[in-house]
Amino acid sequence: MLEFDYTALPSHVVFGAGAARDGRLVDAAARLGAHRVLLVAAEADQELAGPIAAALRGRIVGWFSEVRQHVPIEVAQAARAMAAETGADAVISVGGASTTGTAKAIALTTGLPILAVPTTYAGSEVTPVWGLTEKARKTTGTDPQVLPRVVVYDPELTVTLPVGLSVTSGLNALAHCAEAFWAPGRNPITSLIAEEGIRALAQGLPRLAADGHDLDARSRVLYGAWLAGTAFATAGSSVHHKICHVLGGAFDLPHAETHAVVLPYSTALAAPRAPGSDERIAAALAGDGAAAEAIAALADRLNAPRSLRDLGLRAGEMNGAIELVDATLSQLPEPVSRADTEALMRAAYEGTAPMPQVSTR
């Protein structure tokens, strides 16, 4: 029998090519009551943010550009200080999830509303999850205050994202969708959203990989990324995200690439244990076999990295990596056995074909 608990997260979404540079973003900012805007955009993303700053002229009181991945606490403090000094009443972020994360760090302590303009497929703009790094340790938490109130999705801003990064970022989004089928907060609505997200990503990513300027493909993938972030925000994280978080933190592996490599293996482990999910993920990917095989086939077609070894993890680090991942996965509400963790990690290290795993616990 159906039984679930579902809270929709409030956010106003404006989606469309050109939306960040025509009047739609300015209108959305006005509706938010943003009169004194602190712009957060990395030095490297100036070309994306420049026209937005120009469109908002008169309302920008500061531009914070010291964005760093995983939001070091010093960066958060500097951004908060700029918000206070400039008397900002709103934050507009333009960039990937590292940039959105910097805006979230400001909102966490000030309560300032965020208008987010994402330029990757990471999905942070629709989650209430923040992350901060202090002395090489990343802490994450959930606070409704950091959830952007408005999100403007403009696929034109993603055209400059290199194809390789677009592919891994898109697979990061696919990971949000897949995990939404077995994460603790899953419900029929998150599964529906995730299923449509997978379809959109599977349609758009191969065309994007063939031609990074295909705006229709970029639009499909960005739509899928929104759905992915939305499903993830409610369903929460499980096996897949825990593995990536541990490996990224301990071995400094790149974020989106790690998701891309681990996903076929985490799916091989988790999908067979969550009734119905294997079939639904595989069908949304238009694959014939198991979900993990369909994901691996898509990753191959996209020329995505396929092994932890390719990402720079060394053979001598594997035992330590298995220890750390085991320590996390054994704490899950539905714990994973040491033998399953080890099989998953060894297959992901080599990039061998993912086999649906039968639990040993």
Ligand X SMILES: NC(=O)c1ccc[n+]([C@@H]2O[C@H](COP(=O)([O-])OP(=O)(O)OC[C@H]3O[C@@H](n4cnc5c(N)ncnc54)[C@H](O)[C@@H]3O)[C@@H](O)[C@H]2O)c1
Binding site for ligand X (CB under 6 A): 42, 44-45, 48, 69-70, 95-99, 101, 119-120, 122-124, 127, 129, 131, 157-158, 160-161, 165, 169, 255-256
Beta bridge partners of 95: 118
Q: Which is nearer to ligand X, 100 or 267 (CB)?
A: 100
Q: Which is nearer to ligand X, 199 or 245 (CB)?
A: 245
Q: Which of 171, 179, 159 is nearest to 304 (CA)?
A: 171
DSSP string for 112-168: --EEEEE-SS--GGG--EEEEEETTEEEEEE-GGGS-SEEEE-GGGGTTS-HHHHHH
Helix or strand holding residue 32 (H, E): none
Task: Tell me the closest approach of the beta carbon of residue 288 to ligand X, in angstroms.
Answer: 30
Task: Tell me the closest approach of the beta carbon of residue 174 to ligand X, in angstroms.
Answer: 13
Task: Tell me the closest approach of the beta carbon of residue 208 to ligand X, in angstroms.
Answer: 12
Q: Which is nearer to ligand X, 127 or 234 (CB)?
A: 127
Residue in the shown chain whose Cβ atom is closest to ligand X: 96
CB 230 within 8 A of CB 126: yes
Q: Which is nearer to ligand X, 162 or 275 (CB)?
A: 162
DSSP string for 301-360: HTT----TTTTT--GGGHHHHHHHHHHHHTTSSSPPPHHHHHHHHHHHHHTPPP-PPPP-
Distances in Å between the Cα of 326 and the Cα atoms of 245, 322, 337, 342, 347 are: 13, 6, 8, 8, 15
Task: Tell me the closest approach of the beta carbon of residue 226 to ligand X, in angstroms.
Answer: 12
Q: Which is nearer to ligand X, 59 or 255 (CB)?
A: 255
Task: Tell me the closest approach of the beta carbon of residue 245 to ligand X, in angstroms.
Answer: 8
Q: Which is nearer to ligand X, 176 or 280 (CB)?
A: 176
Contacts of 92 (CB under 8 A, 6+ apart): 29, 34, 37, 38, 39, 40, 52, 56, 103, 114, 115, 116, 117
Task: Tell me the closest approach of the beta carbon of residue 114 to ligand X, in angstroms.
Answer: 12
Beta bridge partners of 138: 133
Q: Which is nearer to ligand X, 123 or 287 (CB)?
A: 123
Cα–Cα distance measured from residue 106 to residue 239, given in angstroms and rounded to the nearest whole number: 30
Cα–Cα distance measured from residue 65 to residue 84, given in angstroms and rounded to the nearest whole number: 16
Three-state SS at 64? strand
Task: Tell me the closest approach of the beta carbon of residue 92 to ligand X, in angstroms.
Answer: 15
Backbone angles phi, psi at 300, to 5 degrees: -65, -45
Q: Which is nearer to ligand X, 166 or 357 (CB)?
A: 166
CB 343 within 8 A of CB 257: no
Task: Tell me the closest approach of the beta carbon of residue 216 to ligand X, in angstroms.
Answer: 17
Q: Which is nearer to ligand X, 139 or 160 (CB)?
A: 160
Task: Tell me the closest approach of the beta carbon of residue 222 to ligand X, in angstroms.
Answer: 10
